Amino acid sequence: MTAAGIAIHPTRLADGRELIYFDDADTTLGSERRLDTRTIDPRPETATMRLDVLTGEWVSIAAARQNRVVNPSAALDPLAPQSDDNPSEIPDLYDVAVFENRSPSFGPALAGDSTDPVDAPVAADAPEGLADLATLDYGRTRTSVGRCEVVCFSPEAEGSFGTQTPSRARTVIEAWAHRTAALSALPGVEQVFPFENRGAAIGVTLPHPHGQIYSYPYITPRTQRLLASLEQLGPDMFDRILDSERESSRVLLTGEHWTAFVPFAARWPLEVHLLPHRHVPDFAATSSAERDELAHVYLRLLRGLDAIYGDPTPYIAAWHQAPVNVARDSARLHLQLTSPRRGRDKLKYTAGSEAAMGAWIGDIRPEAAAETIRAAIPAGV
């Protein structure tokens, strides 16, 4: 039981994958859970990363992802509680459930040796640290060690984070914090990334309310650029960003612990950043009070986005966290929420300039976008 009254029940799926139930503080469920008695195929082999010498970036070639379930019928929802007619991934009723992805981009193998206290295979060709990964040469490969997890926000068949109750939102946040701490401790993991993809326009193929957590064996390209900015501007960069944005007309919401705003150089038609007021490297470092407030602030923000046009807005909610082993005192936890929606029936597509060259062109002035979003945010949740 956590300080927030959220109970945690770890178990295993039939093929050995970890499954963890997180019960709401006001749950109506009992503490016992049925076991997974399915007969299912063994887990796929861990993918292999290849180094792109043009960019210095690693690419995980995870062919097992081709076997993912795509747009199943509601009766065969793989994230619903199991029933006699639906042999889904979760064997019993739940509030929030987290489990290892069946077709992961990283893992299940981990770096390390036989003394690692982790029930996972050990990779034969794992990365040997950040210096090894930074070495540029032709034809380099490494095993895609790490872990990918699915975070189910609700047993309901449809919805998103924004459709949950404040109590349920608080449970999901607790799950993010718990899993960030656990995944950061796995051998070979260098960065942990919780996120939610929402809507068909983003490419979502399961309408069930859920997100994911990726645990990478390297520091992602986006975070490497962030670290370069911190190196140039100083470790107080996020404090200075927050001070500047809070003096602007782009602030959307502010509380005791969090402020949401449209950033000065927004790329997307709808783009919101959400920062904690004090420095915390990741969810695991947040206080109970910060998590409590976030549950309400985040729900208001997401419901405001849906209210702009009166129907669900597609988005990517990306929770950036500090790397596991570097920049812990300067890289701050923050949300970057982006949507391609630039009108009721219009989407922004990343084509030639953005997709090929990384040269962005904004379609809407950030100040105008902030005014639109702010007007749609409900008064309270």
Phi and psi based region of residue 50 (left: phi greater than 0; alpha: psi -120 to 50; beta: remaining): beta
Q: Which residues pair with 78 in a beta bridge?
A: none
Distance CA 281, CA 330 (A): 8
Name the nearest CA neighbour of 293 among 233, 366, 162, 381.
381
Half-sphere exposure of residue 183, counting CA atoms within 13 Å on the CB side? 34
R_g over Cα of the chain? 21
The conformation of residue 107, written as its DSSP 8-state character, comes to -
Sign of the CA dihedral running 297, 94, 160, 178: positive
Do 199 and 341 contact (CB within 8 A), yes or no? Answer: no
Q: Which residues pair with 272 in a beta bridge?
A: 337
The catalytically annotated residue of 178, 208, 210, 334 is 210
Where does 24-124 show beta strands of DSSP type E?
A: 48-52, 57-61, 96-100
- At 309 the three-state DSSP class reads coil
Distance CA 55, CA 34 (A): 48
- Residue 280's contacts (CB-CB under 8 Å, 6 or more residues apart) are 286, 290, 332, 333
- At 103 the three-state DSSP class reads coil
Do 276 and 338 contact (CB within 8 A), yes or no? Answer: no
Distance CA 203, CA 42 (A): 27
Residue 210 annotated as catalytic: yes
Name the nearest CA neighbour of 132 among 108, 111, 113, 106.
111
CB-based burial of residue 358 (10 Å sphere; 0-12 exposed, 13-18 middle, 19+ buried)?
exposed
- Residue 70's contacts (CB-CB under 8 Å, 6 or more residues apart) are 205
Tokens of 49: 């990363």
Catalytically active residues are 210
